[in-house]
Amino acid sequence: MNRFLASRAQRWAAGFVAAAVGAIGFVPLFGGPGYESALASGLFVPTAAAVATALDVSESLSASPLEGVGRGFQSGLALSTAAMVAILLHGLRVGLCDLPGGLLFFALTAGFGALLGGVFGALVAEIARGSRRRRLVCALGAPLGPLAGIVLSVARFYASPMVFAFDPFFGFFSGALYDTVVDVRPELWTYRGGSLATLVGVTLVASALRRSDRGTVAFVSPRGTTQPRWRLALGTAALAISVTVGAAGPALGHWQTAASIAGALGGRAAGPRCDIVFSDSLSEQRVALLLRDCEEEVASVAERMHAGLDGRLVVYFFRDSAEKRRLMGAADTSMAKPWRREVYVQLAGYPHPVLGHEVAHVIAGSFARGPFRVGGSAFGWWPNPGLIEGVAVSASPDDDELSGAQWARAMLDLGILPNMRRVFSLGFLGDNAAKSYTVAGAFVTWIVDRWGPAVMHEWYAGASLEKLTGAPWGALDADFRDALRNLDMPAGASAYARARFEHPGVWMRSCPHVVDAFDRQGDSCRGDHRFSRAQEEYRAALARDASDWHARLETSKIDLFARDSARGRAELERLAADDAVPRTVRDRADEALGDDDLARGNNSTALERFRALADRVIDEDYGRTMEVKAIGAADPKARSAILELLVGESGHGVDPWVGALALGEWTATTGDALANYLVGRNLALHERYADAAARLDRAIAAGGPTPRIEREAIRQRAVCACVLRDQAELERLRGLVVTPGAPFFEAAGRREWVLRLIARCR
């Protein structure tokens, strides 16, 4: 060990590792043990261990192969320890999120990688030993192992649907920036089982080799003993196990190909422009509708972008986030690979809520440059995330209550609208995703409206927007803000924009993976009525992030409805009355109090709460739900059905079967327009489109009790008409949307979405 510490190469390597890992730890997401700090260490430490070991071992002409491997182990252990010390110091500075979990993640990624890096450096030392340029060979050859792993991971990313990567040196890369729950998955254990076999195999083989007086290495079995032969045989067997684990990657989940993913899903269908890959458990009717959805989105988005699909589009429909994460890597994040003309989404109802956005990424690739076919620099090698996402949002806006421009105006009024030059750079990643995507989409739409789609195409292809428009970024930013000031805005937009857009992006959060994992587990336990365990998970999240409003709200709601109602009600009243709490959280607290009032028969109090919420919120779906609950509190005939459908009995929660039974009784007894709307909407959500259409027609004919409910009835009826290919009905519905005085004139974003749907179906 003294000799090891005296090595100049090892001292330099330790200093480099401590400085590099220490510097990156000042980025909030990298401060302390966790996935990001382990990934960053995996990029630095194995390479440093490889170079230092190669230089160190190659100096000793008499060192045996086993001694070289041992020095590699020493180097990897010492340098990974130096990295972990730097990480722990940052953890003490900002607070430790999950020390045991962080240490385990580091050990299975950068820790193992450092040992493999040191062993690889020992192998390079054997090659460099006889070279006249020994140090140069070591300095250039040792990084080739870690670099080869990165190159292989990039090649797999480019040539297959997968976005994740398992690597001998850096360990594990999740692939999806916006999937905040990243944990030690079973695949990492099996992968490191292969790495352990590699280390054991190399060590046993090295122990069976001897160095001759001339410095060469050969297998020598001393007379009268078979021990070296057995070590060589065992080492070879261990290396064979390592190779087998590597070859079994698709079965073990370490890597995938398009063929292995298609084989796992099992189903495939083709249309004029779309190929879809899906679970073979889907019905023929569902498959046909998925294919239609894809074909219609391609045509609609291509028309909006003034571009065409370059080749055929392949869409992978995964059953759920767990299957999507296992097969291609991104759990809750939908993705596209324009250069492969592929899209990866989870199954959802018709029309798919995010398919159009991902299709837009692929169609935009038809006028992009570079190997990845995305917007960016002139040669397409440096992507511009703001431009990439802004073009997709502009081509396929969300089904939202406000348009993207209106949301941007609300941010302007609040003073949180970012500078546009920052949005269209890596600064895009600094804000939360909702804010960045919305602003980028609104600005791109403004550019297209003012200068035309050709300018957007050239900008996406790498041309300078300043040259294309003849205006510097400062002037473009000012003109965009002036255009926003001319928009009509609904009351209350700013308060909801603050709650929606002011929270920090994932890069600026501390402990996002740990906190979100606790919240997700808490939600799962709450759904299973394991209330004590759910509260434990939420409290664990709050211990790491006191501003985790989701955890505070859900803990109080569990108290109110299932454990200590007095304590829960008191806490919810504090949340609802605290101006420092985000507006959306205060509203959810108020809603929970109203639900409790409704369940206890305090109808007048519940009615007052629900009406106040419906009047002040601008969230279309949430406001409509409050209106339905208010009707339940005001109308004795509706109360039982709405209580069972949306609130549930205290302590039991909502039971869909009981809710459907109560709704059916209400509908049969009264024939109420709201009852028919609720039946029709639920039938549509369960893909019973013909039955849903009949119920929705009754609701529309009777007139919705509120504009929001009427809008949703028309929107759901348009979906049914699209599925049923009812062109006459689509034309009639279009008239209901655009007629002066129609309820849609109060919701610009929702109006635009319905008109786009009708246009694509026609």
Strands ordered across the beta sheet of 335-337: 266-270, 274-279, 313-318, 342-346, 335-337
> Could you tell me which residue, 556 or 401, shows the higher pLDDT?
556
The reply to whether 384 and 336 lie within a common domain is no
Q: Give the pLDDT mean for 226-250.
A: 91
CB atoms within 10 A of CB 634: 15
In a domain, 742, yes or no: yes
> Could you tell me which residue, 483 or 507, shows the higher pLDDT?
483
Per-residue tokens: 269:
């269908």
Per-residue model confidence (pLDDT) at position 291:
97
pLDDT at 562 over 50: yes
The reply to whether 298 and 270 lie within a common domain is yes
C-alpha to C-alpha distance for 492 and 691, rounded to whole angstroms: 37
Contact at 8 Å (CB) between 189 and 109? no
The reply to whether 44 and 111 lie within a common domain is yes
Q: Full-prediction pTM beyond 0.85?
A: yes
Last residue of a domain, one of 114, 147, 179: 179
Per-residue tokens: 578:
């605290």
Per-residue model confidence (pLDDT) at position 1:
46
The reply to whether 391 and 526 lie within a common domain is no
Lowest mean pLDDT among 23-27, 554-558, 646-650: 646-650
The reply to whether 499 and 550 lie within a common domain is no
The reply to whether 495 and 530 lie within a common domain is no
Last residue of a domain, one of 367, 388, 413: 367
In a domain, 199, yes or no: no
The reply to whether 496 and 519 lie within a common domain is no
Contact at 8 Å (CB) between 376 and 390? no
Where does the pLDDT of residue 521 fall: very low under 50, low under 70, confident under 90, or very high at 90 and above? Answer: very high
The number of folded domains in the chain is: 5
Compute the mean pLDDT over every residue in the chain, rounded to the nearest whole number: 91
| pLDDT, tens digit (0-9, with 9 covering 90-100), for 68-105 | 999 999 999 999 999 999 999 999 988 888 899 999 99
C-alpha to C-alpha distance for 438 and 410, rounded to whole angstroms: 11
Instruction: Tell me the residue range of the domain where 540 lies.
Output: 510-566
pLDDT at 5 over 60: no
Per-residue model confidence (pLDDT) at position 223:
58
Per-residue model confidence (pLDDT) at position 561:
87
| pLDDT, tens digit (0-9, with 9 covering 90-100), for 227-236 | 678 889 999 9
C-alpha to C-alpha distance for 324 and 361, rounded to whole angstroms: 19
Largest CA-CA distance found in the chain, in angstroms, rounded: 102
Lowest mean pLDDT among 159-173, 391-405, 439-453: 391-405
Per-residue tokens: 200:
């054991």
In a domain, 529, yes or no: yes
The reply to whether 395 and 291 lie within a common domain is no
| Peptide linkage before 168 cis (omega within 30 of 0) | no
In a domain, 196, yes or no: no
The percent of residues in the chain predicted with pLDDT above 70, rounded, is: 95
- Which three-class secondary structure state does DSSP give residue 347? coil
C-alpha to C-alpha distance for 218 and 65, rounded to whole angstroms: 10
| pLDDT, tens digit (0-9, with 9 covering 90-100), for 55-65 | 999 887 778 88
| pLDDT, tens digit (0-9, with 9 covering 90-100), for 360-418 | 999 999 999 989 999 987 666 789 999 999 999 999 988 877 889 999 999 999 999 99
The reply to whether 332 and 414 lie within a common domain is no
The reply to whether 390 and 355 lie within a common domain is no
The reply to whether 141 and 267 lie within a common domain is no
CATH code, domain with 263:
3.40.30.160
pLDDT at 353 over 70: yes
- Count CA atoms closer than 13 A to 450's CA, side-chain side: 15
| CA 260-332-553 angle, 5° bins | 155
Q: Give the pLDDT mean for 569-584.
A: 93
Last residue of a domain, one of 367, 393, 412: 367
The reply to whether 536 and 432 lie within a common domain is no
| pLDDT, tens digit (0-9, with 9 covering 90-100), for 712-761 | 999 999 999 999 999 999 999 999 999 888 888 777 888 889 999 999 99
Backbone angles phi, psi at 471, to 5 degrees: -135, 140
Where does the pLDDT of residue 597 fall: very low under 50, low under 70, confident under 90, or very high at 90 and above? Answer: very high
In a domain, 657, yes or no: no
Lowest mean pLDDT among 168-182, 442-456, 549-563: 168-182
Task: Tell me the CA end-to-end span of the chain in Å, nearest whole number.
Answer: 77
What is the chain's alpha carbon radius of gyration, rounded to the nearest angstrom?
30
Lowest mean pLDDT among 199-203, 627-631, 666-670: 666-670
Per-residue model confidence (pLDDT) at position 158:
96
In a domain, 135, yes or no: yes
| pLDDT, tens digit (0-9, with 9 covering 90-100), for 530-545 | 999 999 999 999 988 8
